[in-house]
């Protein structure tokens, strides 16, 4: 049961990152530095799930997902607070009436609640050893690895080797 839930959660994390890429490259929305922190938070939480799926189950992996959710959720909350004051505008598009930083905050709350709930479940005897992978697990793991590498490349193209601009409008290392 835990394996299936972790796989489903990993696909959810990958889905969040794919939607972000869609809006970045198809919608032309260049992500800000706080957006980058939020993406890293999802990548770290996904890596924690991969550790459970590929290495072996450990409560520490869920703890890493919770800590990542708290840290990146703080970046989301910071971005929400920057735009909560009337007439300060917003950053990026809205999806179902909420901006992505608000959805990220909700997603981190869900991830932390999921990992906390999984910590309450005692592992089945077969989950205590090395995990065996299936096709769905392998695809999810490699998809997260590819998305992490693509994010690193996209932020390198956007920011170069220096700090990212607060209000980005384009890419430093990308042909126009």
The DSSP H or E segment spanning 98 is: strand 98-99
**Is 175 contained in some domain?**
no
The predicted pLDDT at position 124 comes to 60
In this structure, what token pair is assigned to residue 98? Answer: 């909420």
Output the tens digit of pLDDT for each of the chain's 176 residues.
Answer: 888 999 999 999 999 999 999 999 898 888 988 999 999 999 999 999 999 999 888 899 999 999 999 999 999 999 999 888 777 777 778 888 888 999 999 999 999 999 999 999 866 655 555 556 689 999 999 999 999 999 999 999 888 888 888 878 788 776 66
What backbone torsions phi and psi does residue 92 show, to the nearest 5 degrees? 85, 180
The predicted pLDDT at position 126 comes to 56
The predicted pLDDT at position 51 comes to 94
Work out the angle at residue 166's Cα, subtended by the Cα atoms of residues 161 and 169, and round it to the nearest 5 degrees. Answer: 85
Any idea which residue has 């919770």 for tokens?
A: 66
In this structure, what token pair is assigned to residue 77? Answer: 């909350």
**Is 170 contained in some domain?**
no
**Is 95 contained in some domain?**
yes
The predicted pLDDT at position 127 comes to 55
Q: Which residues contact 112 (CB under 8 A, 6 or more apart)?
A: 65, 66, 69, 70, 73
Instruction: Report how far apart, in Å, the C-alpha atoms of 33 and of each of 13, 83, 135, 143 are.
Output: 19, 15, 35, 23
**Is 167 contained in some domain?**
no
93 is in which domain, residue-wise? 2-159
**Is 168 contained in some domain?**
no
**Is 176 contained in some domain?**
no
d(CA 57, CA 13): 19
d(CA 7, CA 49): 8
Into how many domains does the chain fold? 1
The CATH number of the domain holding residue 12 is: 1.20.1550
**Is 169 contained in some domain?**
no
The predicted pLDDT at position 55 comes to 86
**Is 103 contained in some domain?**
yes
> Among residues 37, 43, 29, 20, which one has the least CA distance to residue 75?
37
């Amino acid at each position: 049961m835990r394996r299936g839930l972790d796989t489903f959660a990993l696909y959810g994390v990958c889905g969040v990152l794919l939607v972000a890429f869609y809006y970045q490259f198809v919608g032309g929305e260049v992500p800000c530095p706080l957006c980058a922190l939020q993406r890293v938070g999802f990548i770290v939480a996904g890596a924690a799930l991969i550790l459970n799926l590929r290495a072996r189950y450990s409560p520490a992996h869920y703890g890493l997902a919770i800590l990542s959710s708290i840290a990146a959720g703080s970046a989301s909350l910071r971005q929400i607070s920057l735009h909560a004051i009337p007439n300060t505008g917003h950053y990026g598009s809205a999806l179902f009436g909420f901006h992505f930083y608000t959805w990220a905050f909700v997603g981190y709350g869900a991830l932390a609640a999921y990992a906390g709930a999984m910590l309450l479940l005692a592992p089945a005897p077969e989950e205590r050893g090395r995990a065996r992978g299936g096709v769905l697990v392998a695809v999810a793991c490699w998809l997260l690895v590819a998305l992490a590498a693509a994010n690193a490349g996209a932020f390198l193209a956007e920011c170069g080797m220096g700090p990212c601009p607060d209000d980005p409008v384009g890419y430093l290392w990308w042909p126009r």
